Chains A and B, each alone.
Chain A
Amino acid sequence: SSELAQDPAVSVALGQTARIKCQGDTLRGYHATWYQQKPGQAPVLVISAKDHRPSGIPDRFSASRSGDTASLTITGAQAGDEGDYYCNSRDTSGGLLFGGGTHLTVL
Chain B
Amino acid sequence: QLQLQESGPGLVKPSETLSLTCAVSGGSISSSYYYWGWIRQPPGKGLEWIGNIYFSGDIYYNPSLESRVNISMDTSKNQFSLKLSSVTAADTAVYYCATVPTGYAYGYWVDSWGQGTLVTVSS
Contacts and interface: CB of A to CB of B under 8 A. Distances in A.
A89 B107 contact: yes
A86 B49 CA distance: 13
Interface in A85-101: 86, 88-90, 93-101
Nearest to A45: B111
Interface residues of A, number: 27
Contact of B115 (A42, A45, A101): A42
A31 interface: yes
Nearest to A4: B46
B99 to A, nearest CB: 11
Nearest to B115: A42
User: Chain A interface mostly helix, strand, loop or mixed?
Assistant: loop
Interface in B45-63: 46-49, 51-52, 60-63
A33 interface: yes
A62 interface: no
A93 B63 contact: yes
Given A33-B109, A42-B115, A45-B109, A95 B47 contact: no
Contacts of A95: 49, 51-52, 60-62, 108
Nearest to A27: B107
A48 interface: yes
A30 B108 contact: yes
Interface centre among B37, B47, B63, B104 (most CB of A within 10 A): B47
A90 B115 contact: no
A93 B63 CA distance: 8
A49 B106 CA distance: 7
A40 B113 CA distance: 13
Contacts of A31: 106-107
Contacts of B111: 45, 48, 54
A15 interface: no
